Amino acid sequence: ALATRITRAWVAAAGEELERLKDRDEIVQAMIWLRHIVYEQPTRPHLEVQLGYLLGNLNLTGRQHLCAEVWLAFVYKRQRNVSRARSLLQKVFEEAARLGAIAPLAEERVFLSELVEQQRIGGYLEISAPVRQVLRRLRDGGLPNSALGAQNGLSRRETKVLVMISEGSSNKFIANALGLSEATVKFHLTNAYRKLGCTRRREAISAVRALGLVG
């Protein structure tokens, strides 16, 4: 049975304990809770330290290690440390290219989308050929392609919001994910609808797919 001692409260208070976890189920449960915390509170004090302890755990699988590094890059970005975010993300992508491990990254689209849309990060990543290949494969699988959006007059934020509604996200979910108010999400959608010549959500989703903004 899945260990019950690994609660959100336990993970939120954990430090070196994350590095010492050995049981496979406990590691999985701790990572589930830590992912929630990264998603909801990326600027939480000492979160990068907790992730560092987790990454120091020798019992993590290669897949788990890649995912945790993506979360750490996201935390760096939200904490306005762009140089560390992009250096770590380049390392993650190069390792994924070497291992052919694209699937774990695809599962972290909610974090990667925001990271690669930041010009100082996305532009930096494009310099490396192996990284470009990984980015291409991720975009083929549904990671937003901001360049295509720009060709159609859409801003990066409008492109992101459109991609998220095409994946079935509600305005409330999008607002929470992007750190916006629901009113701001509606504002971006209204502008995007106008640029695409759409009046309804369903029409916009069809347009997004037709334009190749999602796979």
- Angle (CA) 127-103-119 rounded to 5° is 30
Confidence grade of residue 1 (pLDDT, cut at 50, 70, 90): very low
> In which residue are the tokens 């189920």 written?
25
Residue pLDDT, tens place only, 92-112: 888 888 877 777 787 788 788
For 42, list phi and psi in degrees, rounded to 5.
-65, -20
Question: E strand or H helix at 113, and its extent?
Answer: helix 109-117
Mean pLDDT of the 183-197 span: 87
Lowest-pLDDT choice from 68-72, 141-145, 165-169, 200-204 = 141-145
pTM of the model: 0.64
The domain 144-215 is placed in CATH, from the list 1.10.3760.10, 3.40.718.10, 1.10.10.10, 3.40.50.620, at 1.10.10.10
Whole-angstrom distance, CA of residue 82 vs CA of residue 88:
10
